[in-house]
Amino acid sequence: MAPQLFIELVYFIVISIVIGFIVIFYILTQRGKSSKADPDNESVPKKGMEKGEKRWLIFLFIVVVVGNILMLSPLLPSSRYVFWLDEEPKMTITIEVRNYEFVFPENPITIPAGVPVEFIVISHDLVYGFGVFNKDGLMIFQMQVVPKPYLNSIVWVFTEPGYYDIRSTEYSGPKHPYLYFPNTIRVVGG
Amino acid sequence: MNEEERKVLSIRFVVVSLIFLALAGIEGILMRFRLMNTLVEFFDEKHFYSMMTAHPFVGVYGWAYMAVMGAFYFLVPHILKKEIYSKKAAYVSFWLMLVGLIILWSTTFLTHYAPLYTLYWPIPVAYEIIGWNLYSILTFGLGVALILGGVLVFFGNMFATIFLPPRSTDGGSPSPWYVVKELLITAFNLDKIRARISKMPQYTSKAFNYPVFVVAVFRGCVDTTLNAFVIGGVGILLIIFAIGNLIPTLSIPYTIVDPLIYKNVFWWGLDLIADGNVLIFTAGTWYLLVPLLLNRTLYGENVVRTVILADLVVSLFVWNHHMLADTPQPLFLQIQGQLFTWGELITMGLTMFAVLATIWFARPVKYTMPLKFILASITGYAVGGLAGIIQANYASNRFFHNTQWVIGIHGHIQLLVGLSSTLFAAIYALFPLLTGRSLNEKLGNIHLLLWSIGGLIMGLSMGMAGTLGMLRRTLYPMGLGPFEPYMIVATLGALMMATAFIAFIVNILKTIKLTNLLKILF
């Protein structure tokens, strides 16, 4: 399963719980008086935190710590290749962009599967995007292309052989939708 | 300015804001149809993108800002039992916003100038490559500068209303620096820090002298003022560039601005809208309305003040979550952006907790329209906010950035179901105070359900298309392929919202006849 589809699944489970909670909350709060006294409906508000509030804060804090650990761990390919990869890129592919034209070193660009490859994209004029998509349209990775003097580079390891499309993922003027280059990458082996 | 004049001013702001919401909605629906490759003969790519440029300006500054201004011009003096500091400035802010928005919208409509709201350098000024007209750069820049000028006048007036004593008739007027000093001390609790350093026992910070709603107003205003300087500054930059290139001897190259530094400054300023207007003002409105509607004190009021301060501080360091896909950006800034953005889960989570706890302890609750809209708004913020946290990580941003996920679930659900529902709650609550009549509840319920369910359907289906790889800001001239069913469902959601809005307008016009409304306005 692609990582974004797994993340989406987890997200939909969480928001279903949230929406369900709000509906139940709406129904319950219309009913009778709670036996518990309102801890905060006093003329002078308390200085410290309520017990429930403290527990909620601790829960949120745990979510933040766990979330960040997961997102920076090698679980997701994007952080794996940035923070955890020991190997140097075996191949560097430089792509130049000028006046809505992407100049590729070869077409298709042939890449071996399972090895780190570095893409360097240089724009001579505008902001563009560089996104690689599989044949189902699913985004594999992308980056912004900030114009010169900046070099935009990303290292990736393709695991699935086959053809991939390149599309500009950032608006660069009304010609932007036409910056689509099908079958520009061919991954072999693996 | 007496209370009657303030009421009229607030009604003017709200009426204009609703017109802009309608305009943004019409644009949204038209773009939705064009995205599905219908209406192709009516508008080409340039026209489509010019509409996409106007849409967020009209939606955010025309609808959200003007509605907030209308509400605050009435509420802040009402709660502080003071007059608005400057009547003239209040009218100036109204006209600057209105004229600025009309100029900006007309520029995009008539000339098809389309740099998008992101204004990534050098797209707004690359007239030779993209084919923009230099006069359209000039008028667009003027529109942006006027709008943000209006915002600055409004916030200046708000700060003066909050921090200055009422204007004396003897001509003595404190300097603007006094207001700035008071603002900075109170907004950031600097007096408390000073008291701690000098070991003053039992010192209560100045912020505690103000109702919690007013604390949210001046802390949110810090963010939105900084935003106005940055985005207004971009407007002025466009004016300078256009004039510079209209005069042949001057010719300014766009390479004089560094695109990455510009992008950092731009996003630092732009994201402050999200925190100031969208999060802190919303929290302040909940803190005001929920206790008022339930006749209770706010749960954990003192903690809530600290949460607003934390939100203000966090908001100054989150801009990098917009630049996680910019590989020349230093990695430590990317990680810092990720960590601080997670901080918003804590501040917003505590805000929601305080509001829900206040409602919980008020059982049995009779849900009035404003309270129902606040519950819908909390749902919108939870759904949209969680999506925002997910996409704002260095790793996940690699496949979420610039997809429909970002603009659908995070952008539109947060703005339409989250922020807009709070603004509707404020309008439903203020309507009897401003006009002496209450809005019909049955029509209100239709508005609430169609708006929030339609918004969720639209945003979630856009998000699902985004996960499958559908980009935002992109037309698919060769066909939408696997994304098409999601876009059809999103259009149905959008049409539900349009129906909800019509029900709301019918409700207003049924309650207060058009002729009466016109009498109030003119």
3-state helix, strand, coil in chain B (%, to 5): 75, 0, 20
A70/A138 same-domain check = no
Last residue of a domain, one of A70, A87, A104: A87
Does the distance separating the beta carbons of A56 and B482 come in below 8 Å? no
pLDDT given at position B168: 58
Closest among B147, B123, B117, B139 to B54, alpha carbons compared: B117
Q: How far apart are CA B486 and CA B436, in angstroms?
A: 44
**Each residue's pLDDT expressed in tens, for chain B with a length of 522 residues:** 788 889 999 999 999 999 999 999 999 999 999 999 998 988 899 999 999 999 999 999 999 999 999 999 999 999 999 889 899 999 999 999 999 999 999 999 999 999 999 999 999 999 999 999 999 999 999 999 999 999 999 999 998 899 887 665 555 666 778 888 888 888 888 888 888 888 887 777 888 888 999 999 988 888 989 999 999 999 999 999 999 999 988 888 999 999 999 999 999 999 988 877 788 899 999 999 999 999 999 998 888 888 888 888 899 999 999 999 999 999 999 999 999 999 999 999 999 999 999 999 999 999 999 999 999 999 999 999 999 999 999 999 999 999 999 999 999 999 999 999 999 999 999 999 988 899 999 999 999 999 999 999 999 999 999 999 999 999 999 999 999 999 999 999 999 999 999 999 999 999 988 888 888 777
pLDDT given at position A47: 64
- Whether B271 and B225 have beta carbons less than 8 Å apart is answered as no
A123/A165 same-domain check = yes
Identify the DSSP state of B277. I
Q: How far apart are CA B347 and CA B33, in angstroms?
A: 38
Does the distance separating the beta carbons of A174 and B130 come in below 8 Å? yes
Tokens of B10: 């607030």
pTM of the predicted protein model = 0.94
B365: left (phi over 0), alpha (psi -120 to 50) or beta: beta
A76/A101 same-domain check = no
pLDDT band at A163 (very low <50, low <70, confident <90, very high): very high
- Whether B326 and A129 have beta carbons less than 8 Å apart is answered as no
Least confident of A39-53, A81-95, A106-120: A39-53
pLDDT given at position B517: 81
Q: Which of B123, B395, B402 sits opposite A172 (nearest CB)?
A: B123
Q: Is the pLDDT of residue A91 over 80?
A: yes
Kindly list the domain boundaries of chain B, sorted by start residue. Answer: 385-522
Does the distance separating the beta carbons of A63 and B130 come in below 8 Å? no
pLDDT given at position A46: 60
- Whether B360 and A34 have beta carbons less than 8 Å apart is answered as yes
- Whether A152 and A145 have beta carbons less than 8 Å apart is answered as yes
Tokens of A15: 């928001």
A113/A181 same-domain check = yes
A105/A172 same-domain check = yes
- Residues belonging to chain B: 522
pLDDT given at position B132: 95
- Whether B290 and B356 have beta carbons less than 8 Å apart is answered as no
Tokens of B499: 């129906």
Separation of first and last alpha carbons in chain B: 17
Whether A33 is in a domain gets the answer: no
Q: Is the pLDDT of residue A7 over 90?
A: yes
A95/A169 same-domain check = yes
- Whether A127 and B431 have beta carbons less than 8 Å apart is answered as no
- Whether A75 and A152 have beta carbons less than 8 Å apart is answered as no
A69-81: pLDDT as tens digits: 999 999 998 888 8
Whether A48 is in a domain gets the answer: no
A184/A95 same-domain check = yes
Identify the DSSP state of B471. B
A102/A79 same-domain check = no
**Residue B383's closest chain A neighbor by CA?**
A15
Looking at the structure of chain A, the number of domains it has is 2
- In total, the C-beta contacts within 8 angstroms joining chain A to chain B are 251
Which residues of chain B are within 8 Å of residue A56 when distances are taken between CB atoms? 349-350, 353
A140/A70 same-domain check = no
Q: Which of A13, A19, A41, A101 to mutate to test the interface with B (most CBs of B within 10 A)?
A: A41
Q: Which of A1, A9, A11, A27 to mutate to test the interface with B (most CBs of B within 10 A)?
A: A11
Where residue A116 sits, what CATH number does that domain have? 2.60.40.420
A154/A70 same-domain check = no
A66/A135 same-domain check = no
pLDDT given at position A131: 97
Does the distance separating the beta carbons of A26 and B367 come in below 8 Å? yes
A83/A96 same-domain check = no
Q: Is the pLDDT of residue A45 over 60?
A: no
Which residues of chain A are within 8 Å of residue B205 when distances are taken between CB atoms? none
pLDDT band at A180 (very low <50, low <70, confident <90, very high): very high
HEC profile of B325-366:
CCCCCCHHHHHHHHHHHHHHHHHHHHHHHHHHHHHHCCCCCC
Q: Which domain holds residue A75?
A: 58-87
